[in-house]
Amino acid sequence: MSPRKRLIGEVISDKPDKTVVVQVSRKAMHPTYKKYITKRHRYHVHDEENRCKVGDRVEIEETRPLSKLKHFRVIRVVGEER
């Protein structure tokens, strides 16, 4: 069994109950122009205790499918919004 994927991203929405939307950004070089561009991906993440707020940086881990969109869960809050 392969290890579970872990990512760090920023919470951009906490509207649904026990769910947060986390945006994970990474830098990638454009193949033609050779400039670094920011690529973003949004994940729906399970937050059992509703402890994450918009602006928090969180670590998420891949898990079994919890719903149609949720395949990750919150491991820990890395940095809270000030």
Give the residue among 39, 7, 41 at the shortest CA–CA distance from 26: 39
Residue 1: the pLDDT is 66
Domain that holds residue 10: 6-79
Average pLDDT (11-27) is: 96
Q: How far apart are CA 34 and CA 80, in angstroms?
A: 34
Within-domain flag for 1:
no
Count of structural domains within the chain:
1
Give the residue among 63, 53, 50, 48 at the shortest CA–CA distance from 22: 53
Q: Does the pLDDT of residue 81 top 80, yes or no?
A: no
Within-domain flag for 31:
yes
Tell me: the pLDDT tens digits for 20-69? 999 999 999 999 999 999 999 999 999 999 999 999 999 999 999 999 99
Q: Hey, what are 42's tokens? A: 């949004």
Residue 82: the pLDDT is 62
Give the domain CATH number at 70: 2.40.50.140
Within-domain flag for 16:
yes
